[in-house]
Amino acid sequence: MSRLALFLLGSPRIERDGVLINVDTRKAIALLAYLTVTHQRHSRDVLASLLWPEYDQTNARGALRRTLSTLNKALAGDWLDIERDTISLDSRSSSNLWLDVDHFYNLLDKCRTHGHPASETCPACVSPLSEAVTLYRNDFLAGFSLRDSPTFDEWQFFQADSLRHDLAATLERLVSCYSAMGDFKPSIAYARR
């Protein structure tokens, strides 16, 4: 099976085996981002009302069907588990899926096992925290919106806000750590960011 990489920190980008995938519609990108970040199975009705709130249920479900077809085609028929009433990412392919948001959180989690308070940083924390900061190209789905889907935009806003808060805390930890080591050049660079 191929490897799928989703870059959602910044402008959304989707790659299969290192090759950029062109997805025709913004709704398809939004649907894939939502399914990937939430890690849950969702009912068709919930997804239809999330992405097409101005449509009645029949037309929203029809739009969802067309969007799923577009997305499934772009993903070469892999990655989606589409049932009669629910949709999710295919759990069998999850080991071949890389999401920058998950990787960002995994890097932060590495420092939680070092036996010190979360606000402190030990020398072993510097590498994963630095990698997490580098991975954070820009805010979650920066420059992306669905003007006719306020509920999706609200979800996106709260995801971005939470990630931005975690980035700020990580930068603060790196500033403190480098300052304590007397290495002021990276400390100043992280403080400026």
Task: Give me the residue spans of the domains in the chain.
Answer: 4-97, 100-192
pLDDT at 1: 66
Q: Which of 40-54, 58-72, 174-188 has the lowest mean pLDDT?
A: 174-188
Is this structure's pTM higher than 0.95? no
What is 4-97's CATH topology? Arc Repressor Mutant, subunit A (1.10.10)
Find, among 167, 169, 109, 170, the residue nearest to 138 by Cα: 167
Q: What percent of the chain has pLDDT over 70?
A: 99
Burial of 145 (0-12, 13-18, 19+ CB in 10 A): middle
Taking residues 182-191, what's their average pLDDT?
A: 84
CB 68, CB 82: distance < 8 Å: yes
Maximal C-alpha separation, the chain: 63
